[in-house]
C-alpha cells in the first residue's frame, strides 16, 4: 500500500484495525509521538471491511459491536443465584439421604412395589431384573427431586450465565466487556471489497482495478474512504464518470488523491473507522449507572456528533487533550485526506496535537520561521463583516462592560474606519494603520477624508465624521479598541496579518475562507509574554470560523474547529454563532480547565449551546454543579427500609425474643420496605466532583438529528 506491498504496523488494540496506508516520510521534521502501546500488524483491509457494523445508540463504537440483551429488571444477582442453587442442592441431597436411609419410611417405594411382581424380589434369576428396575426407579426419584429443587434454585439460569461467561472469556476477553469479535466474511453481493456499487453504476473496469489493488494490499483505509467519497460525487454528477474511471485505471488506489498527495498520516495514536468516520475515545464502564446498551462498549465521536459542537472541562492532566482532542484532530486529518472534512486546530502547545507532517499548513503566530500568515479580516471584502469578526476578537471578553452589552457597538466603530480606508486604498488597513485610525489621529483621518470628498463618496465621509465626533467622548469604545490593537502592533507580529489584496509579504496569508477545501491547518498561538494577544487570536479564529463555515457556498465537507483551551473566548455572540454551525455542516470542539474561565452569566448558556458535554475527573464542585443541572433528573425507584422492635405479651414469645437477644445482642425487629418512584439527578455534583476515578469522564452526546444520550461514565483512552 502506498509505499510498499507489506502493510506497516498499527497501534495495538483488541479490535482489529485496518492497515496503515503510507509509511512515514524519509526525513520528517521531527519525531512522531510515541504510540500508547507496542505496534502490531493489523488484518488485511478486506477482512477489516467485512467486520459487522450494526446500528447502535449514538456514540457507540460500531466496528465489531455486539449488542447486549435488554436489561431484565427482575434479574437476580449472580451471587444470590449461586447461593440459592447451593442451598437448594444441599436440601435436595438431604431429602434423598433421608429417603435412602429409611428415615422417612418406605412410602416412597410403593409405586415400584405395586408395579413389580413379588416373585422378582425373591432370590433367583428374577432378582437381577428387580435390581435393574430399582436402579431405574431410584434414578426417576433423584431426577424428580433435582427437577423440583432445580426449578426453585434456578439452576438453569445459573448454567446459562456460566456458559455465556466461558464463551465470552475465550482468547483473554472477560465478562461483559467483550463487545467486539471478528465476523464471518460477508456474502459476495454484500462484500464491500468487490466494489459492487461501481459495477452497478457502469464503472466495471474501475471496480476490477480497485478490487485488485485491495486484494494485493496496495490500498489503505484512507484510500477506500477517499474513493467512496469520489464515487458519491460521480453519482451526483454523472458527467464525471469518464474522468473518474480514467483516473482509477491510471493510478489505482492513488486516484482522486488529496491536493497534498498524501494518502495517510505519518503516525496514528488512536483507533479509527473511516468507513463510519468514527474515532474511539474510550470504553463505557460496565456498571449500573450506565445505560444497558453502553455497558462495556467502546465510545466514539464522529461528524454527526461533533456537528452539534462539544465542550470538555477538566483540570490539567485529566486527559482531555491527549485522550480527546488529539484523537479527534487525528480523525479529522484522516477524513480531510479522504476528501470528507476540513479541520483547523488551535493550540499553544504546537505539535502536541499532531506532528507538522499531519497538516497542510502550520501557522506559527509570532515566529519568524512561520511559512504562513493569518488574515486579520478573515478573507472577506465586506467591511461590516470584517469589523464584526475583528470586534469579537478584540473586546469579546469584555462584553459585560461594553455599551449595549455586546460587541456590536465595537463592530460599528471599526466599520466606521476600515470602510473608508478600503474605499481609498482598495484594501483593509495594516495593524499600525488601524491603530492610528482608532486612536483618532487627525492626520490619518484627514488623509482619508480628502480623497473621499474629491471622489464624492459622502457616505464614507459621514462614517469618518461620526467616528471622529464619538472618539472624544469619555468611555468611548474606540479607545478600548486602540488599546487592544496595540497588543498586536508588536515587533513579534510585524510581518503577520497581511490583509487580502495587500500584495506579497514575508509570509503566505491563510484565510478561513478556504474551508470549502479539505484542508488540515494547525495554528500555534504565541506563548511567553503574549498571553493577552493569544486570547485575541483565539477569539478571532473562533469568530472567523463560525462566520466562514456557515457562509460556505459548498457545505458538503464537514468543517471543524478544535480549540484546545478556549479560556476567555466565550461571549454572547460566539454562543449564537456556535448554534448556527449545525445547519452549516460544521462544529467546534472546545476545552476548558474550569468553567471559571467563562463569564458567570454565560456558563449555563454555554452548556446549553453545545450538544456534546464532557466533564473529566478532578473538576471542582462548582463546575460539577453546572453539569449536574444541565443533565437534569430522571425517574428512579427507591426502597426505604424501616426496622421496628417487636414487643409481645405472650410469655413463650417473650422468652424466645429474650433468648434471641441474648445470643445476637440485638432486639428482635421486623422490616418494613416502601418502594417509591422519585426524580433524582442523573449525576449529582458530589458524584462528579468526588467519585470519578482517574482517567475517567462523564460524557453526554447529541446528534445533528436531535438524538440524545444520557451521561455515560467512560474510561478514556481504551
DSSP for 52-118, written as a single string: -----STTB--TTB-PPPPP-TTPPPHHHHHHHHHHHHHHHHHHHHHHHTTTT-SGGGHHHHHHS-G
Over its C-alpha atoms, the chain yields an Rg (Å, rounded) of 36
Least confident segment among 20-29, 370-379, 402-411: 20-29
pLDDT for position 504: 55
The Cα–Cα gap between 412 and 402 comes to 13
The reply to whether 597 and 651 lie within a common domain is no
* The predicted structure's pLDDT at residue 587: 96
Domain co-membership, 89 together with 147: yes
Element (H, E) at 601: helix 600-609
Q: Does 60 fall in a domain?
A: no
pLDDT band for 643, please (50, 70, 90 cuts).
Answer: confident
pLDDT tens-digit map of 663-683 = 667 777 877 878 888 788 899
Give the whole-number percent of the chain exceeding pLDDT 70: 86
- Statement: residue 410 has pLDDT above 60: yes
Q: Assign 213 to helix, strand or coil.
A: helix
Lowest-confidence segment of 37-51, 121-135, 534-548 by average pLDDT: 37-51
Are residues 224 and 147 both part of a single domain? no
Q: 696 pairs with which residues across the strands?
A: 715
Whether 71 is covered by a domain: the verdict is: no
Domains of the chain: total: 5
Last residue of a domain, one of 493, 521, 549: 493
Whether 520 and 594 map to the same domain: the answer is yes
- Whether residues 119 and 208 fall in one domain: no
| Residue 340: predicted pLDDT | 95
Residue-wise pLDDT tens digits, 495-546: 788 776 665 556 688 899 999 999 999 999 987 778 899 999 999 999 999 9
Cα dihedral 701/705/706/709 (nearest 10): -30
Mean pLDDT across 436-443: 90
Decide if pLDDT at 451 tops 90: yes
Do 549 and 645 have their domain in common? Answer: no
In a domain, 228, yes or no: yes
Instruction: For residue 667, give the C-alpha cell.
Output: 432486639
Same-domain status, 521 and 620: yes
Mark whether 390 and 486 lie in a shared domain.
yes
Looking at residue 174, what is its pLDDT?
Answer: 33
Q: Where are the beta strands (DSSP E) in 302-425?
A: 310-313, 341-347, 361-364, 372-374
Is pLDDT above 80 for 327? yes
Closest-CA residue to 311 (of 602, 550, 653, 686): 602
Asked if the structure places residue 394 within a domain, the reply is yes
Residue 232 lies in a domain: yes
Q: Answer with the residue of higher pLDDT: 223 or 170.
A: 223
User: Which pLDDT belongs to residue 180?
Assistant: 42
CA distances from 463 to 410, 413, 423, 459, 586 (A): 14, 9, 12, 6, 35
| In the predicted structure, residue 49 carries a pLDDT above the cut 70 | yes
Q: 290 with 233, same domain?
A: no
pLDDT surpasses 70 at 478: yes
Span 184-208, mean pLDDT? 76
Predicted confidence at residue 644, as pLDDT, reads 79
pLDDT at residue number 472: 67
Pick the more confident residue, 278 or 75. Answer: 278
Q: Do the beta carbons of residue 20 and residue 1 sit within 8 Å?
A: yes
Residue 298 belongs to domain with CATH number: 3.40.50.300
What is the extent of the structural domain holding 136?
78-166
pTM for the model: 0.80
Residue 370's pLDDT is 87
The confidence score (pLDDT) of residue 433 equals 93
pLDDT classification of 154: cutoffs 50, 70, 90? confident
Same domain, 394 and 480: yes
Does residue 507 form part of some domain?
no
- Single residue among 576, 596, 624 that ends a domain in this structure: 624
Q: Do 414 and 457 belong to one domain?
A: yes
| Position 653 confidence tier, pLDDT thresholds 50, 70, 90 | confident
Classify residue 310: in a domain, yes or no.
Answer: yes
> Where is the domain boundary, 606, 624, 642?
624
Q: Quote the mean pLDDT of the chain.
A: 84
281 and 218, same domain (yes or no): no
Return the pLDDT at 612. 97
Residue 139 lies in a domain: yes
* pLDDT exceeds 50 at position 189: no
Contact 617, 694 (CB under 8 A): yes
Amino acid at each position: 500500500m502506498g509505499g510498499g506491498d507489506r502493510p506497516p504496523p498499527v497501534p495495538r488494540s483488541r479490535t482489529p484495525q485496518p492497515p496503515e496506508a503510507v509509511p512515514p516520510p524519509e526525513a520528517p521534521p521531527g519525531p512522531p509521538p510515541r504510540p500508547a502501546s507496542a505496534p502490531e500488524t493489523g488484518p488485511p483491509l478486506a477482512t477489516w471491511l467485512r467486520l459487522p457494523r450494526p446500528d447502535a445508540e449514538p456514540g457507540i463504537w460500531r466496528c465489531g459491536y455486539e449488542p447486549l440483551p435488554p436489561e431484565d429488571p427482575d434479574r437476580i444477582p449472580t451471587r444470590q443465584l449461586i447461593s440459592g442453587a447451593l442451598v437448594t442442592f444441599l436440601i435436595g441431597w438431604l431429602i434423598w439421604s433421608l429417603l435412602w436411609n429409611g428415615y422417612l419410611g418406605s412410602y416412597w417405594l410403593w409405586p415400584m412395589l405395586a408395579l413389580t411382581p413379588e416373585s422378582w424380589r425373591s432370590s433367583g434369576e428374577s432378582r437381577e431384573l428387580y435390581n435393574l428396575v430399582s436402579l431405574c426407579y431410584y434414578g426417576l426419584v433423584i431426577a424428580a427431586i433435582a427437577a423440583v429443587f432445580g426449578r426453585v434454585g434456578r439452576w438453569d439460569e445459573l448454567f446459562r450465565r456460566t456458559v455465556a461467561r466461558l464463551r465470552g472469556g475465550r482468547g483473554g476477553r472477560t465478562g461483559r466487556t467483550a463487545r467486539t469479535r471478528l465476523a464471518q466474511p460477508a456474502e459476495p453481493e454484500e462484500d464491500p471489497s468487490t466494489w459492487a456499487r461501481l459495477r452497478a453504476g457502469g464503472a466495471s473496469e474501475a471496480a476490477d482495478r480497485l478490487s485488485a489493488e485491495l486484494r494485493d494490499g496496495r490500498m489503505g483505509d484512507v484510500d477506500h474512504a477517499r474513493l467512496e467519497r469520489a464515487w458519491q460525487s460521480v453519482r451526483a454528477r454523472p458527467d464525471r464518470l469518464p474522468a473518474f474511471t480514467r483516473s482509477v485505471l491510471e493510478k489505482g488506489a492513488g486516484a482522486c488523491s488529496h491536493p497534498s498527495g498524501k494518502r495517510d498520516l505519518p503516525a496514528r495514536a488512536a483507533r479509527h473507522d473511516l468507513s463510519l468516520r468514527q474515532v474511539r475515545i474510550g470504553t463505557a464502564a460496565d456498571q449500573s449507572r450506565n445505560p444497558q446498551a453502553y455497558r462495556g462498549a467502546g465510545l466514539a465521536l464522529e461528524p454527526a456528533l461533533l456537528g452539534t459542537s462539544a465542550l470538555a472541562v477538566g483540570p490539567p492532566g485529566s486527559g482531555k487533550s491527549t485522550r480527546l482532542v488529539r484523537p479527534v484532530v487525528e480523525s479529522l486529518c484522516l477524513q480531510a485526506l479522504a476528501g470528507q472534512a476540513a479541520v483547523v486546530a488551535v493550540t499553544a502547545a504546537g505539535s502536541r496535537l499532531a506532528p507538522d507532517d499531519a497538516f497542510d499548513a502550520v501557522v506559527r503566530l509570532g515566529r519568524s520561521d512561520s511559512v504562513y500568515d493569518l488574515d486579520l479580516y478573515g478573507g472577506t471584502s465586506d467591511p461590516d463583516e470584517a469589523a464584526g469578526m475583528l470586534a469579537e476578537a478584540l473586546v469579546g471578553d469584555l462584553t459585560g462592560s461594553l455599551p449595549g452589552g455586546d460587541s456590536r457597538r465595537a463592530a460599528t466603530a471599526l466599520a466606521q474606519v476600515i470602510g473608508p480606508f478600503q474605499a481609498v486604498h482598495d484594501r483593509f488597513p495594516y495593524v499600525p494603520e488601524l491603530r492610528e485610525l482608532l486612536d483618532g489621529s487627525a492626520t490619518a483621518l484627514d488623509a482619508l477624508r480628502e480623497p473621499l470628498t474629491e471622489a464624492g463618496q459622502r457616505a464614507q465621509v459621514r462614517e469618518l465624521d461620526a467616528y471622529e465626533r464619538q472618539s472624544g467622548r469619555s468611555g468611548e469604545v474606540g479607545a478600548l479598541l486602540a488599546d487592544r490593537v496595540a497588543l498586536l502592533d508588536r515587533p513579534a507580529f510585524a510581518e503577520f496579518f497581511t490583509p487580502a489584496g495587500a500584495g506579497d509579504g514575508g509570509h503566505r496569508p491563510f484565510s478561513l475562507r478556504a474551508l470549502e477545501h479539505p484542508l488540515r491547518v494547525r495554528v500555534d498561538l504565541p506563548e511567553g509574554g503574549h498571553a493577552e494577544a493569544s486570547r485575541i487570536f483565539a477569539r478571532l479564529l473562533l469568530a472567523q470560523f463560525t462566520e466562514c463555515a456557515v457562509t460556505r457556498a459548498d457545505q458538503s465537507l464537514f468543517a471543524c474547529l478544535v480549540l484546545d483551551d478556549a479560556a476567555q473566548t466565550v461571549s454572547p455572540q460566539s454562543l449564537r454563532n456556535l448554534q448556527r454551525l449545525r445547519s452549516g455542516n460544521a462544529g467546534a470542539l472546545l476545552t476548558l480547565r474550569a468553567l471559571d474561565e467563562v463569564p458567570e452569566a454565560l456558563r449555563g448558556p454555554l452548556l446549553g449551546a453545545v450538544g456534546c458535554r464532557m466533564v473529566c475527573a478532578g473538576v471542582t464542585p462548582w463546575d460539577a454543579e453546572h453539569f449536574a443541572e444541565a443533565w437534569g433528573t430522571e425517574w428512579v425507584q427507591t426502597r426505604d427500609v424501616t426496622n421496628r422492635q417487636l414487643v409481645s405479651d405472650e410469655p413463650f414469645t417473650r422468652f424466645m425474643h429474650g433468648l434471641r437477644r441474648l445470643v445476637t445482642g440485638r432486639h428482635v425487629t421486623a422490616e418494613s420496605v416502601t418502594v417509591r418512584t422519585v426524580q433524582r439527578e442523573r449525576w449529582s455534583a458530589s458524584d462528579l466532583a468526588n467519585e470519578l476515578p482517574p482517567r475517567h469522564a462523564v460524557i453526554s452526546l447529541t446528534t445533528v438529528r436531535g438524538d440524545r444520550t444520557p451521561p455515560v461514565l467512560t474510561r478514556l483512552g481504551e
